[in-house]
Structures are given as structure tokens and as C-alpha cells.
Amino acid sequence: MSAPINGTEGYAQEAPELFARYENIPAPEAHRAVLHFIPPAPADLLDIGAGTGRDAAWFAEMGHRVIAVEPVEAMRLGAMKLHPSPGIEWLDDSLPDLTRLRRRGRTFDLVMLTAVWMHLDAAERARAMPYLAALVANPGRIIMTLRHGPVPPGRRMFEVSAEETIALAEREGLRPTPIANRPSIQRENRANGVSWTTLSLVKV
Ligand SMILES: C[S@@+](CC[C@H](N)C(=O)[O-])C[C@H]1O[C@@H](n2cnc3c(N)ncnc32)[C@H](O)[C@@H]1O
């Protein structure tokens, strides 16, 4: 058996429970702070670490063309079954290198990294940022959420500051703006003190 992709530890084992948990949060509620940044349809959207496909399906329903990157087979196949949509192309690929995706030479109007950046260590984050910047169209934007709080057992996560992310983004010609800081909308995580920072990174 091949080694798991860094960051995906625990996801395959917990997939059934995670489908119930993530799908219970309506996408517009999860992205309340950034609804105004979603471009008019049809646009090219990329969702990295797409999980159960909740957001990819929401974007596709709006009329966007979506590529959903998800390295965990149990999540990806489950998501494809739950949200069958001609508007979504699912791709087995992973951060930091996004090798298969980058081979396509595409750019995207909006790149979403929702609850995924904390799965990379500092070296992986520094490696991934230039690749992410190159995937953004001009004009275009990345929306990223940063997790703060205790790490659940069995997961690989790191505390990531807005300051570090802003410095990495600026180096790649992205203009960062912190959008929101708020407690987790998942009840259990909120009770455990988990909070999130949302950042917008615009290509300039
Ligand atoms: C907390 S979930 C968030 C899922 C979805 N974005 C959402 O907001 O509901 C994190 C997702 O990132 C994926 N992931 C973990 N490590 C990754 C990596 N190195 N590259 C890409 N995705 C990764 C996991 O498999 C999981 O689906």
C-alpha cells in the first residue's frame, strides 16, 4: 500500500462521518463572508481539498465550470456519487505540488482552499504558494481559510498564522486582505475553541 498523501491522515477512515458532518453545513452559510467575491457565472473555479463536494456542487449549480481536487479516494468517489454534475470535473491530485493539475496549464477566476491549508507544514506551504499564484487568472482571486485551535487526534494539522500566509502571498504578487475571523460553525469544534481566519488573495 502506498503512503498516504501528507495532510490526508484520518480522512479515509472517517469518511462516512465526515460526509454527514460537512454536508450538514449549507455552502452559503460556510462562505457567508465571501459571497460577494464569487464571480458571475459562468467562470472557471478550482476547489482544492474539495472533500464531500458540497462547495463544488454549489458552484456548479450556479453555472460555473468547476475542477474539484481531492486526493482521498473515499472522499472523492463518495462526493462524485453524492453530487453527480456535468459541471464538476474531479481530479485525484494533492498539495503542495498539484502535479496533475498544473500539467494542464490552466488558470482559474477563483481558487478555493477551504479548511485545507492547515494540513501542510511550513515547507509545504512555502512550496505550494507559487504554484497557487500561477493557477490564478489575472484578474482572479484565491479564498483561503486558516484554522486556529486544537488538532483532533489522528489528523495532521499545523497552526498557520495570517501573517505568514500574507508574507508568502505577497512574495508571489498576490494582494492579501483578511476578510473575517470567526468561531467554527461546527458545534463540536466551536466548543473546543476552533476558529477560522478567511483571507482573500488577489492577483495584481
Ligand atoms: C477539512 S476538509 C475540508 C473539505 C472541504 N473543503 C470543505 O470545506 O468541506 C480538508 C480536505 O482537504 C483534503 N486534503 C488533505 N490534505 C490534502 C493535500 N495535501 N492536498 C489536497 N487536499 C488535501 C482532505 O482529504 C479533505 O477532503
Which string of DSSP letters, residue by residue, matches 127-138? Answer: HHHHHHHHHEEE
Nearest to 144 by CA among 182, 118, 121: 118
Tell me which of 101 and 186 has the higher pLDDT. 101
The rounded percent of the chain whose pLDDT value lies above 90 is: 95
Q: Given this model, what pLDDT does residue 3 score? A: 75
Q: What is the mean pLDDT of residues 33-60?
A: 98
Cα distances (angstroms) measured from residue 200 to each of 36, 85, 125, 141, 180: 11, 27, 16, 7, 10
Query: Would you say the CB of residue 95 lies under 6 angstroms from ligand 1?
Result: yes
Q: Three-state SS across 33-83?
A: HHHHHCCCCCCEEEEECCCCCHHHHHHHHHCCEEEEECCCHHHHHHHHHHC
pLDDT in tens, 55-76: 999 999 999 999 999 999 999 9
Q: Given this model, what pLDDT does residue 204 score? A: 86
Q: Which residue, judged by its Cα, is nearest atom 12 of ligand 1?
A: 49
Q: Given this model, what pLDDT does residue 26 score? A: 97
| pLDDT band per the 50, 70, 90 thresholds, residue 103 | very high
For residue 60, how far is its CA from the centre of ligand 1 (angstroms)? Answer: 19
Q: What is the mean pLDDT of residues 39-55?
A: 98
Q: What is the DSSP letter of 201?
A: E
Q: Given this model, what pLDDT does residue 4 score? A: 82
Average pLDDT score over the chain? 96
Query: Would you say the CB of residue 51 lies under 6 angstroms from ligand 1?
Result: yes
Residue 176: asked if its preceding bond is cis (omega within 30°), the reply is no
The rounded percent of the chain whose pLDDT value lies above 70 is: 99
Query: Would you say the CB of residue 119 lies under 6 angstroms from ligand 1?
Result: yes
Query: Would you say the CB of residue 68 lies under 6 angstroms from ligand 1?
Result: no
Q: Tell whether the model's pLDDT for residue 1 goes beyond 60.
A: no
- What are the structural domains of the chain? 11-17+38-150+166-203 (3.40.50.150)
Query: Would you say the CB of residue 96 lies under 6 angstroms from ligand 1?
Result: no
Q: Which residue, judged by its Cα, is nearest atom 21 of ligand 1?
A: 94
pLDDT in tens, 137-186: 999 999 999 999 999 999 999 999 999 999 999 999 999 998 989 999 98
pTM: 0.97
